[in-house]
């Protein structure tokens, strides 16, 4: 698979990724390297990662033998907070890490967001590499320089933009995921297909099972994201398109966080996509047949979630804390057509309630 090389970062695939990372480690002569994992990626991916990196050449094998440190956190969004960040900073201080050292984030979106944040703020910035182990991480979270943590139930409210130097994508890690995790990542691929080109959603719809997503399709999803981030890395304009499904998706995710119906990020985004497709129909005249088609396809892959009137009220209340909003108004990305997103669209609370009704029916 062709590498994607940009000024600020490179995305390298499979064996080539390990060769590139080995060279990067040798050339920079890092004295200490932290591998940050969660307990899942530690158990399922760490050995594959270390043995693949060591196998690239003897020199790097010796180098990493003497310089590697490990830190693992509990899996799940609940770890993406200031307390965990403090634990990792403390570990780095105790082990004598310097600004000239390296952090490798091996895990899903929670780890690359948290690890990127910890790295970017430790001693005003330590270099970091992302090795996404989930589908969501591969197509979205590990790419594009967004790092951050949640605080007071608000997703990603604290964070900085800083690019990982290398993003190493090893498709073997997809085999370590549960169907639920793959499906959640697939939501971001569906989102990319809706905002990208008219024909892309038709391609996505050909996928019957998340166990059979062609790697070419994952690659295409990555290039969609990069084509946007390249033009607008700091989200002053078109990067907002990537928030399709996220205004309500984030509010739903935050609302259910810690409850016994807690959703994975992608599962909340899938609901957000249905709701915001309906809002698109209300506000921009997006074809209702397309909206139904999107809903049908999402319902085929994701279980439906029930929301009471008071849940919906609380979710709408959470919107005002969303970073995407200004002037206390909920700002949405809506579709005028497939592949034709519009940002900064204002929607009323009543329209959101109607969208939940559409989702439920």
Catalytic residue IDs: 124, 146, 188, 225, 235, 239, 243, 246, 250, 265
Of 268 and 282, which CB lies nearer to ligand GLY in the complex structure? 268
Nearer to ligand GLY, 146 or 182 (CB): 146
The helix, strand and coil proportions of the chain, stated in percent and rounded to the nearest 5, come to 55, 15, 25
Query: Minimum distance between the CB of residue 221 and ligand GLY, rounded to whole angstroms?
Result: 12
Distance of CA 350 to CAs 216, 247, 279, 282, 316, Å? 41, 16, 11, 11, 10
Residue of this chain nearest to ligand GLY (CB atom):
242
Phi-psi region for residue 258, left (φ > 0), alpha (ψ -120 to 50) or beta?
left
- The footprint of ligand GLY (CB under 6 A) covers 140, 144, 146, 239, 242
Which CB, 140 or 170, lies closer to ligand GLY? 140
CB of 219 to ligand GLY, least distance (A): 17
We find the least distance from the C-beta atom of residue 325 to ligand GLY, in angstroms, to be: 15
CA 28, CA 73: separation in Å to the nearest integer? Answer: 27
The least CB distance from residue 53 to ligand GLY, in Å, is: 27
Q: Cβ neighbours of residue 58 under 8 Å, at least 6 residues apart?
A: none
β pairing state of 102-107 and 127-132 = parallel
Q: Write the DSSP string, 250-297.
A: HHHHHHHTTSTT---HHHHHHHHHHHHHHHHHHHH---HHHHHHHHHH
Residue pair 113/156 in contact by the 8 Å Cβ criterion? yes
Tokens for 261, please give them: 């119906």
Residue with smaller CB distance to ligand GLY, 38 or 140: 140
Pairing of strands 10-13, 166-169: parallel
Give min distance, CB of 17 to ligand GLY, in A: 21
CB neighbourhood size of 151 (10 A):
14
Q: What secondary structure letter does DSSP report for 127?
A: E
Instruction: With beta carbons less than 8 A apart as the criterion, state whether 205 and 47 touch.
Output: no
42 or 239: CB nearest ligand GLY: 239
Q: How far is the CB of 18 from ligand GLY (least distance, A)?
A: 25
Beta strands in the chain, from DSSP E residues, in sequence order: 4-5, 10-13, 33-38, 68-73, 102-107, 127-132, 149-151, 154-158, 166-169, 331-337, 340-346
């Amino acid at each position: 698979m062709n590498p994607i090389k940009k000024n600020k970062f490179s995305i390298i695939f499979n064996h080539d990724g390990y060769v590139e990372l080995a060279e990067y480690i040798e050339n920079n002569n890092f004295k200490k390297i932290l591998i940050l994992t969660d307990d899942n990626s530690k158990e399922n991916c760490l050995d594959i990662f270390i043995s693949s990196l060591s196998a690239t050449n003897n020199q790097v094998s010796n180098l990493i033998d003497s310089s590697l440190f490990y830190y693992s956190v509990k899996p799940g969004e609940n770890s993406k907070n200031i307390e965990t960040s403090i634990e990792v900073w403390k570990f780095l201080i105790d082990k004598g890490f310097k600004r000239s050292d390296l952090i490798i984030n091996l895990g899903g979106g929670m780890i690359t967001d948290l690890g990127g944040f910890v790295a970017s703020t430790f001693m005003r910035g330590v270099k970091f590499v992302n090795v996404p182990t989930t589908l969501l991480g591969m197509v979205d979270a590990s790419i594009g320089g967004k790092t951050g943590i949640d605080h007071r139930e608000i997703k990603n409210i604290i964070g900085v933009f800083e690019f990982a130097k290398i993003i190493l994508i090893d498709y073997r890690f997809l085999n370590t995921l549960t169907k639920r995790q793959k499906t959640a990542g697939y939501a971001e691929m569906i989102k990319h297909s809706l905002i990208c080109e008219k024909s892309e959603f038709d391609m996505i719809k050909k996928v019957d099972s998340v166990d059979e997503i062609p790697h070419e399709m994952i690659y295409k999803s990555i290039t969609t994201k990069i084509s946007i981030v390249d033009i607008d890395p700091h989200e002053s304009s078109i990067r907002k398109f990537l928030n399709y499904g996220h205004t309500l998706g984030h509010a739903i995710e935050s609302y259910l966080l810690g409850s016994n119906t807690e959703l994975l990020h992608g599962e909340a985004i899938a609901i957000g996509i249905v709701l915001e497709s309906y809002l698109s129909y209300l506000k921009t005249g997006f074809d209702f047949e397309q909206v139904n088609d999107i809903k049908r396809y999402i319902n085929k892959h994701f279980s439906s979630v029930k929301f009471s009137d008071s849940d919906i009220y609380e979710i709408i209340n959470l919107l005002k804390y969303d970073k995407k909003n200004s002037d206390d108004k909920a700002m949405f990305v809506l579709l005028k057509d497939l592949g034709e997103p519009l940002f900064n669209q204002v929607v009323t609370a009543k329209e959101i309630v109607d969208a939940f009704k559409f989702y439920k029916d």
